[in-house]
Amino acid sequence: MSLLLGVIAAGALAYGLGFATNRNSEEDDKKKLNELFKTVRLCNKKEEPEFAYVKWLKEYETYTLFGIELPSGCDINSLLKLEYAIENVFKNDVEILYDNQNYRVKVFKGHLMNAKKYPFKVVPIPDTDHLYITTGMSLDGPVTVNLTKTIPNILGAGTSGSGKSVLVKSIVCQLIENYTPDQLKIIYLDNKGGVEANTFKNIKHLAAMSSNVEETILELLDIKQEMFRRLKLVKDADVTGIVSYNSKVNKKDRLPFIFVIIDELFSFMTLPASPPNRKDATSEDLIFNQKTAYRTMAEIASMCRAVGIHLMFCTQRPTDSVIPTNITCNCGLRIGLRTSNEQESRNIIEEKGLEIIDINAVGQGIVKTDKLTRFQTFWTTEEKIREVCAKNKRTTLEAKVINKEKADEKAKSQIFDAFAE
């Protein structure tokens, strides 16, 4: 029987084998997993196959951890495919962990609850020398990721109504509560009319915002120039990145982190595919097209981490054309919410699973770093957002908003550098 058929059979056999009963003892729990491994034939291809089995079990307050022995010739992907079958066995959420041939199955003692059970709270961060973002709560606690250390950029996606807007606002609120305006600048590029960006228009951290794709492209060109300026500073200081640079220079010369939100990627699809090949092409023709937009974003994404610039790409339509490879390959952090189908789930987190999230579980999703973590976005109400913004309200300068009317003037100085083949 193939692994796939075995997984299907496991669901049907779970009740018959008594897998769904109360977890009475450690030996019973080991037996349940070992029986499952035999049912789905998680084994190698020897004449007398060797099956995977539970080596050890440890009980913790919020979960049970199983150590798994995979026989030689048995691929880790075969174990990963059993996540939902194991959940069916224990009727609880499951996470599969692995590193250096050390395989574990974590069975939580409960389920993620709906968003209202996790009202917004500020999650403390270890330090402000690195940029940390918090996506929400898992059954293990807050899901916080260090972007500076290993992960340059973020892909955040989910279908309409999945909770993407709340996710982004929750992340921004965490950032402005944990970092001062001198430590962090936020650029909110909102291609959907600027409604979401407008929420934060008066906070001290906001360096720039946009409300359509033309403004966004022009702002991306500014970000690209700032990235090259910073790269030169870091190189001249003979250091390797923003952390070492900031520790070397005077406090007034330190570089703030720049967190850039680009929402919605699909909006770029409304532009011409590429610049026109004609002599009378205007600077606007050469700038405002998909090729220019995606090439600029990809260039920034590939070089920005060392100098403290981080991009978060957002979309409701996670298709190959909307999020091409030159974008996804530079997104080490994937945040997936509910999707319409399995392929969209794979486009975001490179695994299935997002398509089966309940339609009522708004803000629930999966974070992918070097592992998959289920999480629930904090319940971040408009009242809470206003409260956070009020504490961080700017008193003088408004955020810079680039007007489309300035396109020609900006383009003349940037056109050859930005779009040379």
Q: Which of 43, 78, 108 is the last residue of a domain?
A: 108
Q: Residue 111's pLDDT is what? A: 78
**What's the structural domain count of the chain?**
2
Boundary residue ending a domain (84, 108, 132)? 108
- State the pLDDT confidence band at 396, using cuts at 50, 70 and 90: low
**What is the DSSP code (8-state) at residue 110?**
S
What pLDDT score was predicted for residue 420?
Answer: 44
Q: How far is CA 92 from CA 17, 62, 87, 88, in A?
A: 17, 11, 5, 8
Rounded distance between C-alpha atoms, residue 386 and residue 153, angstroms: 27
What does the pLDDT look like over 52-62, one tens digit per residue? 999 999 998 88
pLDDT band at 109 (very low <50, low <70, confident <90, very high): confident
CB distance 312 to 257 below 8 Å: no
Residues 123, 92 share a domain: no
Backbone angles phi, psi at 171, to 5 degrees: -60, -45
Label residue 150 by pLDDT band (50, 70, 90): confident
Is the pLDDT score of 124 beyond 90? yes
**Pick the residue with more confidence: 99 or 189?**
189
In a shared domain, residues 76 and 191:
no
Cα 200 to Cα 42: distance, rounded to the nearest angstrom:
51
My answer on whether 162 and 231 are in the same domain is: yes
Per-residue pLDDT tens for 159-183? 999 999 999 999 999 999 999 999 9
Same domain, 147 and 7: no
Q: Give yes or no: residues 53 and 123 share one domain.
A: no
Domain with residue 382: its CATH number is: 3.40.50.300
| Residue 421: per-residue pLDDT | 42
- Residue among 69, 76, 66 at smallest CA distance from 3: 76
| Prediction pTM value | 0.80
Domain range holding 23?
3-108
What percent of the chain shows pLDDT beyond 70? 88
Whole-number pLDDT of residue 410: 52
Long-range CB pairs of 86-92 (<8 Å, 24+ gap) are 86/33, 86/36, 88/10, 88/11, 88/14, 88/19, 88/20, 89/10, 89/14, 89/19, 89/20, 89/32, 89/33, 89/36, 90/19, 90/20, 90/23, 90/29, 90/32, 91/20
State the pLDDT confidence band at 8, using cuts at 50, 70 and 90: very low
Whether 156 and 200 share a structural domain: yes
User: Nearest CA to 373 among 327, 336, 318?
Assistant: 336
* Spatial distance between the Cα atoms of 218 and 84, rounded to a whole number of angstroms: 45
pLDDT in tens, 270-317: 999 998 888 777 888 889 999 999 999 999 999 999 999 999 999 999
Instruction: State the pLDDT at residue 261.
Output: 98
Residues 334 and 252 in one domain: yes
**328: helix, coil or strand?**
helix
Q: What is the DSSP letter of 116?
A: G
Do 33 and 52 share a domain, yes or no? Answer: yes
123 and 28 fall within a common domain? no
Q: Does residue 165 share a domain with residue 81?
A: no
Which amino acid, 347? N
Residues 6 or more apart whose Cβ sits within 8 Å of residue 279: none
Structural domain ending residue among the three candidates 108, 138, 162: 108
- Tell me: do 251 and 351 sit in the same domain: yes
Residue 72 is classified by DSSP as T
Range with the lowest mean pLDDT among 18-22, 252-256, 365-369, 402-406?
18-22
Q: What is the CATH number of the domain that holds 73?
A: 3.30.980
Residues in the chain: 421
Same domain, 208 and 237: yes
Which stretch of DSSP H or E encloses residue 58?
strand 53-59
